[in-house]
Structures are given as C-alpha cells and as structure tokens.
Structure 1
C-alpha cells in the first residue's frame, strides 16, 4: 500500500488532463457544466432526461441530451472517470470530427431509440434514464470485440469465457450491486457498441474524402489545439487488424447509471 501512495503523482494526472484530445475534453466539460447548471435550474434534468412516453417529434432532442445529464455528484463522477479514457482512445483512433459526429448523433439516437422501443413497445413501461454510462458500455463493448479477435477467451477455473462477453458480465454485476441502474439502458448501449465493432454501422461515418476536405478548408489542425485529424489517427480509420503477438485486454471501468 505504501508503494501505491508513493507512485501517486498529481502532476501525472494534470499532464493527462491537458493532453486529452479536443472532442473528449469538450464532451466532458459539457457533462460537468450541465450538472452544475442543473443545481440551480432544477427543471434542466427533467428537460434533458430520456422519458420514453415523452419522446416525440418535438422532443427528439432527448435522445441526444440524456447521456449528458446526471442525477448527482457520484453519478457524474463515476461516469466521467469511466468515460474519459475510453473516449480518448476512441478519438485517437477515429479522429475528432468522427467522434463529434457520432457522439452528438448516432451514438445517442441508436441506443436511446432502442431503449424507447423496448420500454414502450415491449415492456409498456416509462422508466426515465440519463447518464453517460450508456456511452461507457458502448465503448467497452467495442473494445471487447477487438480484444476477442486477438484473444478469444480468458480462463476462470476450468471455464473458458469469451472475452467479448466481459461488458455483459459487468452490466449484470452492476445491476445487482448498484440501486437504480438501468439494466436495459446499459444493454442497449452495449448492443450498439457490438454492432459498431462488427462494422454494421460504419456507414454512419462520413467519407474520409469529405473529412479531409473539411479539415483542409477550415484548417482545423492549425486552428484548434488538441485536434486529432484524419491523418493523425493512432490506428487508422477503422482500427488495426488483430494480431496474436500483441493481445489487448478490454478497458474496464465502473459505471453508475439511473
């Protein structure tokens, strides 16, 4: 334990925060700002939350605002701690523009729409949800599929567990341990993460030719600090092919959702 405290260095945390890419820090700042604003403006949570029976033509915005709003400080803290490293990795891999497009559009609409469909159509219920935990499990599922391609199983005793199932196991554990977590909401986020990693919805990403044109026309790399361009991505547009020589383990993190 003593060595753990010795290794803890606040400067490393500060350095890590200042190195975060542009879209990651922007989304985290919006999440924190909305929670702070919801303290004096009490109706803000109700306005942003995903309430299945209140989603209509004029309230479709809820499908994009609900991951940004949180119930309380602990809800906010755990989600931000879990989301930040996963989102940073995603942005480093796909670039700032792609991250912005997906997390302000399809990555809210798809899991949110699926949740509304299940709640209203199958369960005839109206359970309100909010919080970035749906994004955390989306990203965890995507990482788990990548890991599965390089390392299909891990062993517990005499059992071989598929590595892609790790997020599902975590969702089930959290649903039992933490009150008021949305099992269905987390599963919807994981489902979208799986179909993203399996390339079924990669068509949602704008063509790279268009991204390059926008970046060069607006000189985004030169004007915006911490911007990750199409040419600067760590792993290429759709990631690297898995290898058996360098297995990657899935990212982990606690998720606390309503």
Structure 2
C-alpha cells in the first residue's frame, strides 16, 4: 500500500506541475474548449450548423460570429483532445515569447484572417466558370486547428531552424514543414477541412512576412491593457505572462540564416509524439446531413 500511495502522490504532483507550467491564455483555451465539449456531450448537442464556419451562412445572413464560435467547438473527444494536446506545447512556447495579452490578440487576429481567407477562397472556387464546386460553400467547419496551423508556421519561422523532422521519420526543409503536415493530415484522416488548414497556413505566412504589421499595436497598447483594473486578478496569477518582449511596434520578429535543425511539434520518436499528432478541423456538408451526424457521432 505504501508504494502505491507514494506513486499516486507523485503522479498527482507531476500532473499539477505540468498544468501550472502552461501559461495563462493557453490554459484558458484548453479550459474553454474542453468545457464546451463536455457541455455539448452532457446535453446531447450534436448539430453544429448554427455555430460552425459555414461560408453560405456568413454570406447570406452575415453571421460573422461564426468566425469565432467555430474555433471553440469540436466534433468528438479525439478531436478536442488532439487539438488541445497539439496546442499546449506550441501555445505555451509562443505565449512565453509574446505575453498573454498579445497572444490573445494574435489568436483573434489569426482566427479572423483564417475565416476571411476561407470565405474568399470558397467564393472563388464556387464560381470558377469551367469547374464549379458549390459544395465548398456548404462545408461546415469546426475546431481550433486552423489557428494551430497558423501558430505552427509562426513558431517554425521564429525558431530559425533550417530543417524539421516529421514524426521522427525524415527531415524536410523548415519552410515546407506546415505544408507537409497539411498533406499528411488530408491523406491520413477523414472529415478534415482542407480549406480550414490551408487558410491557417496562409495566415501564418502572412504574419511572418509582415502583412499584419499595420494591425499590430505597440507594446504600450498591451501594457495599458495589463494595467487595467479589469485584469488585476488575472495578472496576479503566476501563469500570466506580461508583454515585456518584442519591439516597440508590437511585431514579433522572425529569424533566418541559422544553419540549424529542429525537431518541431510533430517529430522525434513517433510513439512519444503520438499524443500531439493530429490537430483537426472537422468538416461536413449540408447535402450529406445524415452522414454528418454519423461522422460527428458525439458533439
């Protein structure tokens, strides 16, 4: 009995230390997404057409709220589990660099740009004269992985790595890393939104190449928010990270020219990294409503 008690105490302590090591905003996203999934599960909610990113609904009814509701809902336990396990190391690293408030702002910016790009590409594809794909306008996408793909691009650029290992099996040039992941997920998994992930990658590249510079406030903006009385309780939390880094423009610079390699988020031993293997942005189609319900199975 004694060894078991010690072992259980050790496991509980390690789990608590792991959770306390996750910065404020990243842990908040995990809590929000996990709580929403549990509420959906308990109340039997399995219809996502009112909250998913649905291009036709955004256009016809101007339901812009879908830009943000779609990223916090997930279609199954594995869906939310894999997305959050992928987010924790990635989001923690970037939040420690950027600060909690800046990380929140950039996440909103990326979610917005992902949705706008998704909408524009869907409209373009649906109206190509010689080969129209109208079903892309009725694709119902949910999940946080579009933002995760954006963060992968940003983290890869910030790392300065020239190559990255994919699942510990082979190395590829770092600039191709997000695109290789995109292809692998499309091949290995079903019910995955190609446009959702692709637009996440495009937004990540737009950020790293400075296209969002005009939308990035200076550090004084974040400092003013941090000094607000509304955030006083949050700032006192040990997990909260102040925005003390970066340059006055508020843009986090990227690095290049370093002849280094990096294991990245989805590399190393394939078994030890399986838990963070699959960020997913699930999709469905209004035309196949019955198949949608079967595919999601649970909220």
Stretch deviating more after TM superposition (181-190 or 11-20): 11-20
1:164 partnered with 2:175: yes
TM-superposed CA distance for 1:245, in Å, is 7.5
**Where do residues 75-154 of structure 1 align in structure 2 (5 Å cutoff)?**
75-103=79-107, 105-123=108-126, 124=134, 125=136, 126-147=138-159, 149-151=160-162
For 2:243, the equivalent position in structure 1 comes to: 230
> Highest CA radius of gyration, 1 or 2?
2
Cα shift readout 1:167-194 (whole Å, capped 9, x = no counterpart): 1111101101111111121111011111
Q: 2-side partners of 1:101 and 1:153: how far apart?
A: 28
TM-superposed CA distance for 1:254, in Å, is 2.2
So what's the TM-score if we normalise by structure 2? 0.72
1:175 partnered with 2:186: yes
Cα shift readout 1:175-224 (whole Å, capped 9, x = no counterpart): 01111111121111011111212222133232111222332343747534
TM-superposed CA distance for 1:227, in Å, is 1.2
* Residue correspondences, number: 245
Q: 2-side partners of 1:111 and 1:240: how far apart?
A: 20
So what's the TM-score if we normalise by structure 1? 0.82
SS of the equivalent of 1:35 reads: helix
For 1:254, the equivalent position in structure 2 comes to: 278
Q: Is the 8 A contact 1:31 1:69 kept in 2?
A: yes
SS of the equivalent of 2:50 reads: helix
TM-superposed CA distance for 1:43, in Å, is 6.4
Cα shift readout 1:217-250 (whole Å, capped 9, x = no counterpart): 43747534421102278xx961574574865443
Rate the CA distance shift 1:160–1:11 in 2: closer, same or farther, 3 A.
Answer: closer
Q: Is the 8 A contact 1:49 1:130 kept in 2?
A: yes
Q: 2-side partners of 1:107 and 1:245: how far apart?
A: 29
SS of the equivalent of 1:79 reads: helix
Rate the CA distance shift 1:106–1:41 in 2: closer, same or farther, 3 A.
Answer: farther
For 2:52, the equivalent position in structure 1 comes to: 49
Rate the CA distance shift 1:153–1:43 in 2: closer, same or farther, 3 A.
Answer: closer
Gaps of 5+ in 1: 1-7
SS of the equivalent of 2:202 reads: helix
Q: 2-side partners of 1:11 and 1:98: how far apart?
A: 30
Gaps of 5+ in 2: 1-9, 127-133, 267-276, 283-299
SS of the equivalent of 1:45 reads: coil
Q: 1-side partners of 2:259 and 2:63: how far apart?
A: 49
Rate the CA distance shift 1:118–1:152 in 2: closer, same or farther, 3 A.
Answer: same
